[in-house]
A and B are shown apart, each in its own frame.
Chain A
Amino acid sequence: MHTMLVLPILIPLLTAALSLLLQARPAWRVWLGVGGAAVHLASGVALLVLIWTHGVQATQVGNWPAPFGITLVADLFSALMVLIATLMGFVVALYSLGDIGIRRQRFGYFALLQILLMGVCGSFLTGDLFNLFVWFEVMLITSFVLLALGGERAQMEGALKYVTLNLFSSAVFLSGVGILYGSVSALNMADLAQKLPVLAESHPHLVLAVSSMFLLSFGIKAGVFPLFFWLPASYHTPPPAVSAIFAGLLTKVGVYALLRVFTLVFPLSPTMYGLILAVAALTMVTGVFGAVTQMEMRRILSFHIISQIGYMVMGLGLLCTPDPAIRRLALAAAVFYIIHHIIVKTNLFLVSGTVRALRGTDDLKPLGGLAVALPWLAVLFLIPAFSLAGVPPLSGFWAKLAVLQAGLQAEAYWAVFAALFAGLLTLLSMVKIWNEAFWKVAPERTTDSVPHLPPSRRRLTLLVVPSILLAALTLFIGVYPQGLFRLAERAAEQMLNPTEYITAVGVPPYRPHLIDAPPADPAAYAVPETSP
């Protein structure tokens, strides 16, 4: 039993429990929230180091052997995602000190944030589809509460749409899990990875149907075309710290599930990967069109999440080519893109929150002149904004370059064209925010506008320091992309050759009598060789 695998789930649970106990001491709760997030971050770093040096690790909760018990397993991709989630948890907890009012804190804001992180880390670490559902629910229920906490009218409307679509997606996911269990009597992902290729031979339509259900469910959670409408309706309504952690992490959990399930569990046909590629291209283009029409910072940024999800899913769709080198490049590009995007998007929401704290609004029309009044804020905005748009030498440039390179090598020229077109429009809408909020002369304040108190110096520091940290990280990845790219490449290798994952989980070799109609070819019973 590897303690390191349990810690990223246990630490936020303990922090949240302690935080709920300290009801009477609000000051302690605040520092517990930040301190717990710091310890969580340390556990994330330790997990990544462990996986990098020792390969895939797995642990069985309660010591039940593999396919029967609850498995926690971390390969490099999981470890990277856990690390980035803990980092975002720490940064947003810090930002919340300045952003979240005392009323929301009294309703247990910090405890909810910790449980959200627990759900996210649990989803990344679980090795079992039903537990993935449970972790999704842990994450969703806390996100519902975080979204609705405060009870403003816009929040309530946003929450209703968010809750409805996410519950629908959960029901679809659960149905898929049920059918899968009914057909192969297995839910452990490593076990399924051995059994499903056999089932796909005898019952191809059953596997196609179940994989489509998973595609639908994870697609809603990731916010891909045409399932994204809940996202721009809700993400701009809660306080900036909450939308920042949502924007950074929650959709990416959907992308993680897509990548995990469609590389490890389901043997997809090139046609299905082609469908995913088409969905990715449409996601990129429709998302960015939405962003161009909006006039409020956080609404523009919400639509951008959708368009950027397209790039990550494109990495998965490019697995339609048979060439192993291109497949590895495509997956590595997707992993790199996810990491880059979580950092950059969270930062953009944090900066828009700072603008809101300083000026009282994030609508672009009444804003203006920020570049002259607050040049440091302009720089803080420019770094993530240009990185998102893919301007060299920032992290987004390398992420886009890798995706495009994989697309060109796989000869998916129309997807590459969609990506370039979406990139251009992304730059356009970033320039729009820049022009309206930072560059143009500030409009005269009308008499009926609400007077706004600027934040205190201490509060402003708490708002700005997280953005500086994330901007520095973006610059660092931009200047030295090789390190992260090597990590992403090894993660992609592990995902494409699941033998190491399956051995680490330790499921027994497949016993074909559990399936009613085994194929005649005994070679099919063997653990699948490294996929082409």
Chain B
Amino acid sequence: MFILLAVVVGGLYALGLYLLLARSIVQLIFGLVLLSHAANLLIFTAGVPVRGNPPLIREGELLPPEGFADPVPQALVLTAIVISFAVTAFAAVLVKRVYQAVGTDDSDEMTLTER
């Protein structure tokens, strides 16, 4: 499981970076999406995914039962997913607007700001 996740994370990073370097801005957005997924999955993997009890405390006790799963990575990933979803939605709209304003999806032709 661990090895599999590690390979998947590495693959996502590689694919994301490859797409980021593409000239088409649509591919660029896909690259960003894959990168954020890779980061989320990395947190999940780094948080050591083990089979365990839910981290809930029974009534009348002070500690959860032994061998509970660490809830923090889930919380982190949840927050990060929400953020990356919002940002992706924004980026998708931005790409559409850029395409409308510039008339091309080739980032090499967007040199207006860099003369």
Interfacial residues, chain A to chain B (CB-CB below 8 A): 130, 133-134, 137, 140-141, 144-145, 148, 151-154, 156-161, 163-164, 167-168, 170-171, 174-175, 177-179, 181-183, 185, 187, 232-234, 236-237
Contacts and interface: CB of A to CB of B under 8 A. Distances in A.
Contacts of B46: 178-179, 181-183
A159 B94 contact: yes
Contacts of B61: none
B3 to A, nearest CB: 15
Main secondary structure of the interface of B (DSSP, over half): helix
B86 A163 contact: no
B15 to A, nearest CB: 13
A134 B79 contact: yes
Interface in B63-115: 70, 72-73, 76, 79-80, 83, 86-87, 90-91, 94-95, 97-98, 101-102, 107, 110, 112-114
A140 B86 CA distance: 12
Contacts of B114: 232-233
20 contacts: A134-B79, A137-B83, A141-B90, A145-B90, A148-B97, A153-B102, A153-B112, A156-B94, A159-B94, A160-B95, A164-B32, A167-B36, A168-B20, A168-B35, A174-B40, A175-B43, A177-B76, A178-B76, A181-B43, A233-B113
A353 B98 CA distance: 25
B14 interface: no
Contacts of A182: 43, 45-48
A501 B35 CA distance: 34
Contacts of A130: 76, 79
Nearest to B29: A164
Given A156-B101, A174-B36, A234-B113, 7 more contacts: A137-B87, A145-B90, A154-B112, A159-B98, A175-B42, A178-B47, A236-B113
**Most chain B C-beta atoms within 10 Å of own C-beta, residue among A141, A154, A156, A158:** A156
A170 B83 CA distance: 11
A125 to B, nearest CB: 18
Nearest to B111: A157
Interface string B39-55: 11011011110000000
A178 B42 contact: yes
Contact of B38 (A171, A233, A234): A171
